[in-house]
Amino acid sequence: MTPERPAPQQRDPQPGIVIARPFGIPVYISPYWFLIAGVFILLYSNSLQQTVHGSTRYLVAAVFVVLLYASVLVHELSHCVVARAFDLPVRRVLLYPLGGFSEIEKEAPTPAREFLVAAAGPAISLALAAVGYGLSSLVPDGTGRVLVTQLMWANLLVGLFNLLPGLPLDGGRMLRAGIWKVTRRPGAATIGAAWTGRVIAAALLIVPFALFARDSNTNQVFDAAWLAIIAAFMWMGAGQAIKVTKVREKLPALQARLLARRAIPIPASLPLAEAIRRADAAQARALVVVDHEDKPIAIVNESAVMATPPQRRPWIEAGSLARTLDESLVLPADLSGMALLEAVRKSPASEYLLVEPSGKVFGVLTTQDLDHAFARG
């Protein structure tokens, strides 16, 4: 029988809608942003009742929200521009209801570059606040001045808040760079900055309760809920940084050669029971289907074998439980660490064929064994 066709390669899910590509960097906006933006517009329009009359306040509120997120976008793009100046690839910028995120694919190679990439965001936000302060004295009284003043305060708040020394904030990355410089241990620096971020998150969580205990009116309830949400996102972001660091610490142990299973070649027409007998005799744990020239063409799926009742195995051809090999499922046996994970991520499968530089088959790597290696670490 013909080995089954490989499953289509999984694509990275899109995080939202692409709204722009400044400097060639795709900017995605979360669908939830429109919902939260609508809430912001309603809340902000209520605060404008004393200064802007009629339905105009809703238009002013909408303009403010758009300009606020434009400021956030400029903040994130500043990170990207500095990162690219240091030859760090930028994948995309994400705008979500609580702010933005620059997805830089490589870590800065030195503490100094890490510091500069992180500091670019708060620096541009504070610069925008300074520009707003200068314009506020030039713009005449009215709607224009209200917008300029509010944007000035918003950018000032964004800049100062991001300078707080805890991950996932920019100040946390700057703190990480400092610890990294002193200790020369980037992993330990990340853990330290992440736990500082958790302390800040816990402190922010205490503030809402203090506000609510002092005054339980509607405005205080909203402020308390808003701070609580920010604290929760900070806590989760810091936790994610800790998790990623622990994963990276396990990378040196992830070597394809050490995780590989010994494999034996079999023809596709061989009965499954006989293939299993040969593998047991050779103390092998994987079956590779070869053609008449002994060229590997497929790998027998272990899960399919285990699901086949023993009484049926003499009557089933091993090739019927195999997955056809394409180029993405053939990996160098020397792969290790992040390179190994990236190769597996690009082509999701249950088994991969490992080959020597000469092209000779070394063995089979299963994602199950890769997962177990992480669990042991």
Number of domains in the chain: 3
Same domain, 79 and 41: yes
41-80 residues labelled b (16+ CB within 10 A) or e (exposed): beebbeebeeebeeeebeebbbebbebbbebbbbbbbbbb
Same domain, 352 and 216: no
Same domain, 49 and 147: yes
Same domain, 261 and 370: yes
pLDDT in tens, 296-334: 999 999 889 999 999 999 999 999 999 999 888 999 999
* Within a domain: 191: yes
Same domain, 238 and 144: no
Same domain, 181 and 272: no
* Within a domain: 4: no
Domain of 95 in residue numbering reads as 13-163
Domain boundary among 232, 250, 268: 250
Same domain, 17 and 158: yes
The answer to whether the predicted template modeling score (pTM) of the entire model surpasses 0.85 is no
Same domain, 20 and 158: yes
pLDDT in tens, 185-215: 998 999 999 999 999 998 888 876 776 666 6
Same domain, 85 and 227: no
* Within a domain: 132: yes
pLDDT in tens, 248-290: 777 777 888 989 999 999 999 999 999 999 999 999 999 999 9
Same domain, 36 and 130: yes
